Amino acid sequence: MEEVPLQQQHQNNIKKLIIAIFLVVFVFIYKSYNPIKSNYFLKCPFLYATGYKCAGCGSQRAVHALLNLSIKDALYYNILLVVAIPYLIIGLFLEIKKDKSYKYNNIYRLLYSTKTTLIILIIIIIFWIIRNTPLWCLY
């Protein structure tokens, strides 16, 4: 096993601490403050400029709803974000793990292949279009 110099370990620990602090602050803010009722959260520039919702519209409200265990509301605000969470968690786990084993490399390649990226892009575009049509009102 390769030895990591003490200074590099210290820098890595500082990075991890900064990320942990950021996540705690992020979770506290999004759990405590409702983006619907607060003017401090960013508004979607695409919606503002065009009057149409982008694929990310409602994500802040969905995160707030999820942190407050209101899954039904989260799905209503942005179903794509809620459905993507397992994919994002697995990807984050693989990035943190950085395991060189065959099993993890195959999963990593599957999640981040060109084909998968293209499929995700197509799903986002279809979602973006459909949520701006009368079909979306049926949901």
Q: How much is the average pLDDT of 86-102?
A: 80
| pLDDT higher at 45 or 108 | 45
Phi and psi dihedrals of 11, rounded to 5? -65, -40
pLDDT in tens, 5-15: 777 777 888 98
Q: Across all residues in the chain, what is the average pLDDT?
A: 88
Q: Is the pLDDT of residue 22 over 90?
A: yes
Q: Print burial letters for 71-110: b (CB count within 10 Å at least 16), e (below 16).
A: eeebbebbebbbebeeeeeeeeebeeeeeeeeeeeebbee
Q: How much is the average pLDDT of 108-119?
A: 90
Q: Is the pLDDT of residue 101 over 80?
A: no
Quote the DSSP letter at residue 35: T
pTM of the model: 0.80
Tell me what percent of the residues of the chain surpass a pLDDT of 70: 92
Report, in angstroms and rounded to the nearest whole number, the Rg of the chain calculated over CA atoms. Answer: 19
Would the CA dihedral through 76, 79, 83, 87 be positive or negative? Answer: negative
Q: Both tokens of residue 23?
A: 């996540």
Q: How much is the average pLDDT of 63-78?
A: 95
How far from 83 is each of 61, 89, 99, 139, CA to CA, in Å? 15, 11, 26, 15
